[in-house]
Structure 1
Amino acid sequence: MDSKDKQIIRTLQRDGRMTNQDLANAVNLSPSPCLRRVRNLETKGIIQGYSADVDPAAYGLSITVFVRIKLERHNQADVQIFEKRVRLIDEVLECHVMTGAMDYQLRVLVPDLEAYENFIRNCIHPIGGIASIDTSFVYGTVKKTAVFPARL
C-alpha cells in the first residue's frame, strides 16, 4: 500500500458515499486508476466494507458504557467461552483484549440505566468465570473519528 492508497482510504473514511469521479478528483487521479486502486484495496481486505455513521442517541441508545472485565482464570477454554459469548451480545459494539489489570474492554450501547443493569445481569453474569467488572459511563465525547492519522 503506497501513499496514494492511504490518501484514498482517508478520503473514503471521511465520505464513503462519494462517487468514484469525486474520489478521483480529491486524490488527484483519473477515474479508471482510482477505481482500480479502490477495487484492489477491497479485494485485499484492506477496505472491509462501508457503513453509515449513526447518532446513537437519535437511534434510542443514549448511554455509552466502557466495561472492563477481568477473568478468574486465563486458560484457553475460559477465554474461548468468554469471547464466543461476547460476540453474540448485540449491546457490545467492540471488545478488546487488554494489557494491564483488566483483560477485556467492551464498548456497550444501551438506552438507559435499567437496560444496562439488565445487560450485566442477563448477558455478562451468565457467562461465568468473571472475577471483576469495572464500569465507566460516558457523559461527553471530545473527539470521535473514523479517519486514520495522516502521519505515520
Structure 2
Amino acid sequence: MGNEPSSTMNIKNNIKLDATDRKILEILQKNSNITNAQLAKEIGLSPAPTLERVNKLETSGVIRSYHAVIDPASVGLGVSTFVMASLKGHNKENINKFITAIKMVDEVVECHHITGSGDFILKIVCADIAAYQQLMLDKVSNIEVVDSLQSMVILSTFKDSKSLPIPG
C-alpha cells in the first residue's frame, strides 16, 4: 500500500482509480449516453478494455446508476424548497421512523441527515405553493417524530451540478 503511485486513488472496496478511470468518470458524468466507441476514442483505449473498465466501475459501485436530468418546470414542478426538520428526540428509533416515513413521500427528492440546529435537510419539489402547502400539512408535518420544520423556498438556482469533482 505504501508503494502506490500518487496518481492512483483508493476508494471503497479497495478499488483503485487511475487517471484513465478518473477520465472515464468525468466523461460519463457529462454525457452518460456516449457510446463505448466514442468513450474509447476520448480516453485513448480500444473499445474492449474501455468497456471492461466501465463494467468494473459499475459492479464495484463507483457508478451507481445513469439518469436523465429533467427540467422541473417543463414537467410542471414550479416550486422547489429546502426544509430543515428537527425530531422530537434524536435517537435511533426516531431517526429510523423519520427515514422510513420520508422515503414514502415522492416529492422529497433529497434527504440528508445533518449536524447543526436541525436533524435533516430535505429538498422538496412540487407543482406550486398550494401543492407544497398541502404536502406539508398532509404528509411531512404528520410524521409522528417531527418536532419542527423550517421551510426555505428556492427563488432561483445558479448552480445545480450533478458532476462530482473526481480527486486525483
* Among candidates 94, 111, 114, match of residue 95 of structure 1: 111
SS of the counterpart of 1:80? Answer: helix
Give per-residue Cα distances to partners, 1:68-103, cap 9 Å, x unaligned.
101110122111110000011100001000011111
Q: Say whether 1:71 aligns with 2:57.
A: no
Q: Say whether 1:118 aligns with 2:147.
A: no
Q: Say whether 1:60 aligns with 2:76.
A: yes
Gaps of 5+ in 1: none
In the aligned structure 2, how far is the partner of 1:39 from the partner of 1:112?
41
Structure (1 or 2) with the larger CA radius of gyration: 2
SS of the counterpart of 2:52? Answer: helix
In the aligned structure 2, how far is the partner of 1:142 from the partner of 1:148?
17
* Among candidates 18, 21, 24, match of residue 37 of structure 2: 21
SS of the counterpart of 1:105? Answer: strand
SS of the counterpart of 1:126? Answer: coil
Alignment-derived partner of residue 48 in structure 1: 64
Shift of 1:129: 2.0
What letter is aligned with 1:147? S
What letter is aligned with 1:58? S
**Alpha-carbon contact 2:126-2:132 (below 8 Å) kept:** yes
Shift of 1:62: 1.1
Gaps of 5+ in 2: 1-16
What letter is aligned with 1:105? I
Shift of 1:136: 0.7
Consecutive aligned runs of 4 or more in structure 1 exceeding 3 Å deviation = none
Shift of 1:126: 1.6
In the aligned structure 2, how far is the partner of 1:114 from the partner of 1:130?
21
In the aligned structure 2, how far is the partner of 1:84 from the partner of 1:106?
14
Q: How many residues are matched? A: 152
**If the length of structure 1 is used for normalisation, what is the TM-score?**
0.95
In the aligned structure 1, how far is the partner of 2:167 from the partner of 2:157?
23
Alignment-derived partner of residue 130 in structure 1: 146
In the aligned structure 2, how far is the partner of 1:69 from the partner of 1:54?
26
In the aligned structure 2, how far is the partner of 1:151 from the partner of 1:50?
21
In the aligned structure 1, how far is the partner of 2:134 from the partner of 2:97?
20
In the aligned structure 1, how far is the partner of 2:69 from the partner of 2:49?
28
